[in-house]
């Protein structure tokens, strides 16, 4: 189940002057975007032990205030919409294979030359939207009393 609806995606794209494919393709893009959003490490913990998605969460803060454990923050919905748009041209979670050997010679000395790895697409826009909700590498959560 996605956080954003096709209507959410359409509104998000319209506000930015972007064009989208048909509704069926938009739903597929949102599913791919959801898969990407779910790979990130967020503050807090899932609100219920039986939930399969990352949100809603308990113990998550935004601008110093604790978020409700019963709803998905608007930032997550916006990020999912942006990720869906990014998926139109890029795979945000590509399968990366091992490096391909371009040259290998053995004449008393072993020389192996590998191809460069292809760059992995990372959506800076999605990460910027979600930054306030992501888990701190220092494991600190700051809230208001």
Q: How does the average pLDDT of the chain come out, rounded?
A: 86
Rg (CA), the chain: 20
pLDDT mean over 13-28: 98
Burial 109-133 (b: 16+ CB within 10 A, else e): eeeeeeeeeeeeeebeebeebbeeb
Q: What is the pLDDT of residues 50-94, one digit of tens each?
A: 999 999 999 999 999 999 999 999 999 999 999 999 999 988 887
> Which 3 state secondary structure label does DSSP give 32?
helix
Residue 112: the pLDDT is 60
Residue 8 predicted with pLDDT over 70 = yes
* Cα distances (Å, whole numbers) of residue 127 to 92, 108, 110, 133, 139: 12, 49, 42, 10, 18
**What per-residue confidence (pLDDT) applies to 111?**
64
Domain boundaries, the chain: 6-133
- Give this prediction's pTM: 0.79
Q: Which of 77-91, 98-112, 116-130 has the lowest mean pLDDT?
A: 98-112
- Asked whether the bond before 38 is cis by omega within 30 degrees of 0, the reply is no
């Amino acid at each position: 189940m996605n956080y954003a609806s096709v209507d959410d995606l359409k509104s998000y794209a319209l506000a930015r002057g972007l064009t989208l494919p048909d509704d069926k393709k938009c739903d597929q893009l949102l599913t791919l975007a959801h898969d990407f959003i779910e790979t990130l490490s967020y503050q807090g913990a899932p609100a219920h032990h039986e939930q399969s998605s990352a949100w809603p969460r308990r113990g998550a803060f935004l601008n110093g205030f604790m978020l409700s454990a019963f709803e998905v923050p608007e930032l997550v919905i916006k990020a999912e919409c942006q990720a869906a748009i990014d998926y139109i041209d890029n795979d945000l979670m590509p399968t990366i294979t091992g490096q391909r050997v371009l040259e290998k010679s053995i004449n008393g000395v072993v020389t192996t030359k590998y191809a460069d790895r292809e760059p992995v697409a990372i959506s800076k826009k999605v990460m910027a939207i979600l930054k306030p909700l992501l888990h701190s590498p220092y494991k600190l959560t700051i809230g208001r009393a």
